[in-house]
Amino acid sequence: MLGHGGISEGLSPFGSVILLVLVGPLPMPPVIEWAVILQWLPIIVSLVALGLSTMSLWKGYLTPFRLEVAHSSPCFCLYKITPRISGSKSGKGWWIPSFDVGLSFYNGGQKIGRVTDVRIKCDLRSGKGPRTYLFSPKWVVSYASFTQHRHYRIRWIDTSVERDWYPLILPAKETKHVHLILESHRWDEGNTGEMEYTLQVFSSESKEWKECARYRLWISEDMYESQDLHHGWRVN
């Protein structure tokens, strides 16, 4: 089909005039307003540069504290305290339940953060009814020395304890490693049954207890005399 241009080319000058009166002038192609574009171009470039600078500033200096935790499997032991060790005149002994665990804390952000506390929460289900025990960090130990003497409580306390536990300050992009001893109140009787326990961390990031891992371990009567080390099986 011929457009208006094709039709007018085949007509006489008089016919072209008549066609122009009947149809009207042909539409003109849009004109690009380069002057307007050039006027706004510096502003657009400035906004893009500002956005990129803001993103770079956020990643480099303003990213909030972001805690990442890596840990070993908590190791459980029951240390028997005999009347000879405690000096008890009643002739009765007791046990100190204890966990040791290695932890690494990494700050993935750019702002300083704080690891406020660590704990292991234990729920023991036995014939005597359910009981809950909280194990709090007591000491930071030298793992190499502790491994050599871990079956002998008095010895590793003398040789392996580096310091008491206190909260950790984590600067940006830094990692801190600790091997912790966590203990609860003494056990005066042999509790047996299934124990489910969770490793939890409290930090300035969440401002609440966050679960790192959950384990289960069966507490049997022979564990009270052996002073062996026991690892639970992870359930999450």
Give the model confidence (pLDDT) of 26-60 as tens digits.
Answer: 555 555 567 777 777 777 777 777 676 666 655 65
If asked whether residues 79 and 6 sit together in one domain, one would say no
If asked whether residues 80 and 184 sit together in one domain, one would say yes
Taking only the tens place, the pLDDT of each residue in 148-179 is 998 889 999 999 999 999 999 999 999 999 99
* This model's pTM is above 0.85: no
At 211 the pLDDT is: 97
If asked whether residues 138 and 218 sit together in one domain, one would say yes
If asked whether residues 25 and 47 sit together in one domain, one would say no
If asked whether residues 120 and 181 sit together in one domain, one would say yes
If asked whether residues 4 and 71 sit together in one domain, one would say no
Burial class (CB in 10 A: 0-12, 13-18, 19+), 159: middle
If asked whether residues 4 and 104 sit together in one domain, one would say no
Minimal CA–CA distance to 105: which of 26, 12, 170, 188?
A: 170
Rounded Cα distance between 96 and 224, Å, is: 10
Q: Residue 56, by phi and psi: left (phi above 0), alpha (psi -120 to 50) or beta?
A: alpha
State the residue range of the domain holding 181: 67-234
Number of domains in the chain: 3
If asked whether residues 116 and 132 sit together in one domain, one would say yes
Reported as a pLDDT band with limits 50, 70 and 90, residue 147 is very high
If asked whether residues 97 and 156 sit together in one domain, one would say yes
